[in-house]
Structure 1
Amino acid sequence: MERVNVVYVLLYDHSEERILMVKNKGMDSSYYTLPGGAVEIGETLEDAAIREVIEETGLSVELDGVLAVSEAFLEQRGHHAIFFTFRGKVVGGKINIMYPEEIEEVTWMNAEEALKYASLSTEGNELVNRNSTIPYVLRGKVIHKN
């Protein structure tokens, strides 16, 4: 199985009652997720999260830390996926689907309903309610000398 890093971003509206969700076109049926996607080679988790939100929604975001880390074995794709879910806030742009062949809809969904699709687990949902995050730290390039 190939190891794949995937980033998602949890974004609330101004009232903090709705969460931004994207409806992805799947092989068999469409499904909702938080905006996000695979990290590209040479890309940081943070850069990937910001890029994916722009590509999927047209919105610019700032990230406020990591909300959750989880993993899954996606056997149909042959992937061992590690999911990094950031908390963020919208700082610009307007909703625009840039890849209609992948994204069917971008919508602000009632938070309770959205969290059912967010795949954060019960513990993750509790962290959302407490506004708790851990910092994301890019340590740069590390060279070990013998």
Structure 2
Amino acid sequence: MKRVDVTYVLLFDELGENVLMVKNQGKKGSYYTLPGGAVEPGETLEEAAIREAKEETGLDVEIGDVFSVCEAFVEERGHHAVFFTFRGKITGGEITISMPEEIEEVTWMNVQDAEEYIHITGNTKGLIKRSESAPYLLRKRSDITT
């Protein structure tokens, strides 16, 4: 199976009541997710999350700590996918759809409804609003000893 890393960004509105979601066009129909997508070769997780958020929403974002990490085996594609979701903050831009062939809609969704679409294993009710998170650290290759 091929390993595929995917990043998402959890973004709240100014009041912290709504989550920014994108409606993707898939082969089996439309579905909502957080803004995000696959990490490209040579790209860090942070760079991928920032790029994907911009491509899908038109917004400039700053990445914070890790909200969640989960993985799945996508048998029909032959992928072992690892999903990294970061907390983020909007720093600029305007909501636009630059890839209408992939994204149908960019919308603010209340937290309770958004929880239905954010697939994290276990009981996730109320998880979005909790403040606990883990730091994202990028270690330089020169800092790693073997």
Same fold at TM > 0.5: yes
**Distance change >3 Å, CA 57–CA 11, structure 1 → 2:** same
CA distance in 1, matches of 2:142, 2:83: 23
1:64 Cα deviation (Å)?
A: 1.4
Identity over aligned residues, as a percent?
Answer: 58
CA distance in 1, matches of 2:92, 2:138: 24
1:38 paired residue number: 38
Q: Is the 8 A contact 2:2 2:78 kept in 1?
A: yes
SS of match in other structure, 1:65: strand
**Distance change >3 Å, CA 14–CA 2, structure 1 → 2:** same
CA distance in 1, matches of 2:126, 2:138: 26
1:144 Cα deviation (Å)?
A: 7.1
CA distance in 1, matches of 2:127, 2:117: 16
1:128 Cα deviation (Å)?
A: 2.5
1:129 Cα deviation (Å)?
A: 2.3
Are residues 1:57 and 2:57 paired?
Answer: yes
1:122 Cα deviation (Å)?
A: 4.2
**Distance change >3 Å, CA 125–CA 77, structure 1 → 2:** same
1:6 paired residue number: 6
Q: Is the 8 A contact 2:115 2:128 kept in 1?
A: no
Q: Which residues in structure 2 correspond to 1:1-146 (within 5 Å)?
A: 1-122=1-122, 124-142=124-142
More deviation in 109-118 or 119-128? 119-128
AA in 2 matched with 1:95? I
User: Which runs of 4 or more aligned residues in structure 1 lie more than 3 Å from their structure 2 counterparts after TM superposition?
Assistant: 121-127, 142-146
1:141 Cα deviation (Å)?
A: 1.6
1:28 Cα deviation (Å)?
A: 1.7
Residue segments in structure 1 that go unaligned for 5+ positions in a row: none
CA distance in 2, matches of 1:33, 1:145: 38
CA distance in 2, matches of 1:145, 1:44: 20
TM-score by length of 2: 0.93
AA in 2 matched with 1:64? G
More deviation in 23-32 or 124-133? 124-133
CA distance in 2, matches of 1:107, 1:67: 20
AA in 2 matched with 1:25? Q
SS of match in other structure, 1:119: coil
Residue segments in structure 2 that go unaligned for 5+ positions in a row: none
AA in 1 matched with 2:107? T
**Distance change >3 Å, CA 8–CA 145, structure 1 → 2:** closer
